[in-house]
Structure formats: structure tokens, C-alpha cells
Structure 1
Amino acid sequence: MNIIDSLKWRYAVKKFDTEKQLSQSQIDTLKEAFNLTATSYGLQPLKLVVIKNKEIQKELVAHSWNQPQVLEASHLLVICTKDNYTTHEVKNYFNLVQKIRNTPDSVIQPFKEFLTAEIEKKTQEELFLWNKNQAYIALGNLMTVCATEKIDACPMEGFIPEEYDKVLNLKAQNLKSILALPVGFRANDDYMKDLPKVRKETNQSVIEIN
């Protein structure tokens, strides 16, 4: 399939086949795709929690408005961002730039000072919202990769982040859960499986300026 056919193939799965599991190779592909996601200034303020533990998945169903996909899925992916975001992240980023690219201090310093100042002048609430928005970029990237790899998924905002944070002990890692993505394989009796995709005509959603 080409990319458009793959995107037509995907849908938000309502029922997963509990007998089918993703291979380690498929999970590794999703992990690497997440790590390669574009982020603002390249700072990568996100973390991905990969869960393959049915007891934990079962516990999280109750905090996901009882959506069964959380348990039925092969794996549950949870996209998180930092709870407390500081200029230490900028320092780590530029240390990595120098390690990988061997960029001189004279080139790095002006941009480093700019980013440090930008973060220092923002409140933690502003920084959280900034990073939260980037979680949606990662989610979109993961969904596209899932489609191309024929991995089924169901993007979720419908859960209680504070409860996820408790179950996954995220506060101890300075993290907050933002989005969830159960992944696996669609069940043959998922009522949504063969329904045609409902979308506007492209000329109704796209404006071209020539």
C-alpha cells in the first residue's frame, strides 16, 4: 500500500484481537519513530511509556472511562511530558549537540542563551501547555507509522491523567501523562472494521493559494 491507502486503512479501533501481539521488532519501530518525532527547537520534552502488563492495563481501564481497548490491546503507549520543566533541559540538549555534531561553543552560545531566556520567562503552566501541544505531534507521527506498518491503534484523550500518573508512578520521574495509544491488531468482529471512512471532500478541507 502507498501512504494514502495506509491512511485510508487505519481507523480508531474499538475492539482488539486479544490473541495477537505485536512483535518486538514492531515495538522497536514505534519507539524509534517516537524518538524521531519533530519537537520545538529539537528539545524533546516528551517521554513514551510502553506498557505490556495486563494487570496494569486492567487497572488503567477504570481510569479510561472503561474503554476496553486499554486492556485488549497488545501494548498500551502513554505519551508524557515533564511535570517541572527547567533550563537544565536546554543545557542537556546543547551538550548532546556538541557530542554528536562537535559544534563549537561560539556557534552554540547565542542560541543557547536565547532558549534559556525563553524558558526562564515562562511560567510552569505555560511550559506545560507548550510541551503538551507537542505530544499531539508525537501522537500523529505514531499513528501514521502504525498505519504504514499495519499496526492498529486507538488514540485516546479520554482518560484521567492524574490516576494514570499514580498507577504508573510518573510523579517520581517528574512526568505527567498526556495521551494514550493502545496498539495491536483489530478484531474480526470489530463493528467499525469494514465501515467506510467518513471524511469531507478534500476541496472542502483544503484551501489552495496559487
Structure 2
Amino acid sequence: MNIIDKLQWRYAVKKFDSQKILSQQKINILKEAFNLTATSYGLQPLKLLIISNKDIQKELVAHSWNQPQVLEASHLLVICVPKTYTTKEVQKYFTLVKDVRNTSDAILNPFKEFLTAEIDKKTQEELLIWNKNQAYLALGNLLTVCAFENIDSCPMEGFIPEKYDEVLNLEEQNLHSVLVLPVGFRADDDYMKDLKKVRKNITETVMEIS
């Protein structure tokens, strides 16, 4: 199957087979894919929680509009962003760039000063919105990788972030939950499993300018 066939195969699973568990190899692929996601300036203002504790998953169902996929899924992925974001993250990023690429300060400093100024002039509310946008990039990447790896998934905005933060003790880690992605294997009796995908004609969604 090519990538388009895989994307045709993918859908938002309504019922997972709770008896089937993803292998550690598949989980490792998702971890690597998340870490390789493109983010603005490469700053990676994101954290991925991978939950396989069924007691925790069960508790989170009540904070997810009672969507059963949260418990039925093999694993529950939660994408988080920092509650407070500062220029310290820029400093860490450029330290990493220097370590990995051995780039001189003369080359790095102008860009570092620019990014520091960009972060400094934004409010925490603006930075939170900016970082949330990065979370959607990560979600899109994970959905595509899931399809390619024959991992079923169901992207969710339908949950109460504050309750997730409370259950998962995220505030202590300066984190805020943004998106939820149950992953695993579709159930044989999921009513959505064999339905045709509904999409607009490509001529309605794509414009070519030459």
C-alpha cells in the first residue's frame, strides 16, 4: 500500500479492541515520530505523555465527554505544552544546536538574539496560543505515521484540559494538556470501520497557481 492508500484506510476509530495491545516497537516509532515533528524555529515546545495505565485511562473517560475510546485504546497519547514559556528555552535550544552541529557563536548569536527578542515581546497568553499551534503539527504528523504503521487512532479535542492536568499532575511539571490521541486497533464491530470516507472533491479543496 502507498501512503494515499494508508490515508484512505485511516479513520477516527469509534471503538477499539481493548484486548489488542500495541508492541513496544510501535510505541517507539510514535515516540520518534513525535520527536521529529516540525515545529516553529525547531524549538519543540511540546511534551508527549504515553499512558497505558488502565486505571488512569478509566478515570480520564469522565473528563473526555465519556468517550469510551480513552479506556478501550491500547495507549492514550496526550500532547502537552508549557504553561509558562520563557527565553530559557531559547538558550537551551542554541546550546543543543552548538553541541550537535559544533556551530560557532558568531553564526548562532544573531539568530539567538532575534528569537530571544521574539519570545520576550510576547505575552504568556500569546506564547500559549503559539505553542498550541505546534501541538496540532505534532498531531497531524502522528496521525500520518499511525496510518503508515497500521495503527488505529482517534484524534480528540473533546476533553476537559484542566481535569486532565489535575489527574496527571501536569501543573507540577509546568505543563498543560492540549490534544488527546487514543491509539491501538479498531474493533471488528466498530460501525465506522467499513464506511466509505467522505471528502469533498479535490477540485474544491485544492487550487493550483502556475
TM-score tier by shorter-chain length is over 0.9
Is 2:76 the counterpart of 1:73?
A: no
Partner of 1:203: 203
- CA distance, structure 2, for counterparts of residue 208 and residue 101 of structure 1: 38
TM-score, normalised relative to structure 1? 1.00
Secondary structure of the 1:131 match is: helix
Partner of 1:106: 106
Partner of 2:64: 64
Residue type of the partner of 2:114? F
- CA distance, structure 1, for counterparts of residue 44 and residue 172 of structure 2: 19
| Cα displacement (A) at 1:19 | 0.7
Secondary structure of the 2:22 match is: coil
Partner of 1:21: 21
- CA distance, structure 1, for counterparts of residue 102 and residue 209 of structure 2: 42
Partner of 1:169: 169
Residue type of the partner of 1:20? K
| Cα displacement (A) at 1:32 | 0.4
What is the count of residue pairs matched by the alignment? 210
| Alignment deviations for residues 106-157 of structure 1 (CA, whole Å, 9 cap, x no partner) | 0000000000000000000000000001100000000000000000000000
Residue type of the partner of 2:69? Q
- CA distance, structure 2, for counterparts of residue 10 and residue 35 of structure 1: 22
- CA distance, structure 1, for counterparts of residue 134 and residue 42 of structure 2: 11
- Structure 1 vs Structure 2: percent identity of aligned residues? 75
Is 2:32 the counterpart of 1:32?
A: yes
Structure 2, gaps ≥5 residues long: none
Structure 1, gaps ≥5 residues long: none
- CA distance, structure 1, for counterparts of residue 160 and residue 65 of structure 2: 8
Superposed structure 1 runs of 4+ greater than 3 Å apart: none
Partner of 2:6: 6
| Cα displacement (A) at 1:175 | 0.3
| Cα displacement (A) at 1:94 | 0.2
- CA distance, structure 2, for counterparts of residue 200 and residue 126 of structure 1: 33
Partner of 1:155: 155
Residue type of the partner of 1:203? T
CA RMSD of aligned residues (A): 0.3
Q: Where does 1:76-87 land on structure 2 (aligned, <5 Å)?
A: 76-87=76-87
| Cα displacement (A) at 1:204 | 1.0
- CA distance, structure 1, for counterparts of residue 194 and residue 113 of structure 2: 54
- CA distance, structure 1, for counterparts of residue 31 and residue 107 of structure 2: 31
TM-score, normalised relative to structure 2? 1.00
